[in-house]
Amino acid sequence: MVVQQPPNRSPEDRLPRRRFLKWLIRIGYGAFALAFLLPALALRTLKSEAKPVAAGDQLVYATGNQAGSPVSVTDLEAGAAVQAFPEGKSDNQNTLIQLVHLPGDGEPAIVAYSAICTHLGCSVLAQLNKDGDIVCPCHGSVFNPADGAAVVNGPAGRPLPGLPITVDSGGAVTADGPFDGPVGPQ
């Protein structure tokens, strides 16, 4: 049996294969670098600062058929509540606001608080309970809107931060400054 030896290849014959291998290695390095670059870019976007509530921000409905349209207190019955965002800032969950029309005689009393529970940061329910209190569905914290959102019940240790507001002659609601305390758990 005769075994044939492959012919010796000249350096010119090996050149296309070397070029191919070099390109393949470069593509591998590029893919490796991209695997580290994409998560770094994703983390960078997470670090972007969210805009807080500020004086002059008009409040817009957060949910429902009117979502995105300006809140009007003329649509809010006494003893009812609605959730809103400052216009253009709905991407920051910490700007969710609970507006409550307190029942009573005379001028309508509208109060505003953060809608983020001070216990673990859940959003409170948009509707008030039968006693007219703000309720967090996660762990049952209850806040009294007529008493500065003081804790009535539950694991929350402090009241919901208040938001100063103004109501113009047409009933539109505008923030008159930032929240009076830290939003969410601290």
In order, the DSSP letters of 85-120 are EETT-TT-GGG-EEEEEE--SSS-EEEEEESB-TTT
Per-residue pLDDT of 7-62, as tens digits, reads 666 656 666 778 888 888 999 888 888 887 877 777 766 655 678 888 889 999 99
From the list 102, 110, 109, 116, the residue with the least C-alpha distance to 52 is 116
**Residue ranges per structural domain of the chain:** 10-48, 59-175
- What's the rounded Cα separation, in Å, for the pair 26 and 37? 16
Per-residue pLDDT of 92-151, as tens digits, reads 889 999 999 998 766 668 999 999 999 989 999 999 999 999 999 999 999 999 999 999
- CATH 2.102.10.10 assigned to domain 59-175? The reply is yes
Per-residue pLDDT of 60-88, as tens digits, reads 999 888 888 999 888 888 889 999 999 98
pTM, two decimals, is 0.72
Q: End-to-end CA distance of the chain: give it in Å, rounded.
A: 85
pLDDT of residue 13: 60
From the list 56, 55, 87, the residue with the least C-alpha distance to 71 is 87
Higher pLDDT, 126 or 1: 126
pLDDT of residue 48: 56
pLDDT of residue 1: 62
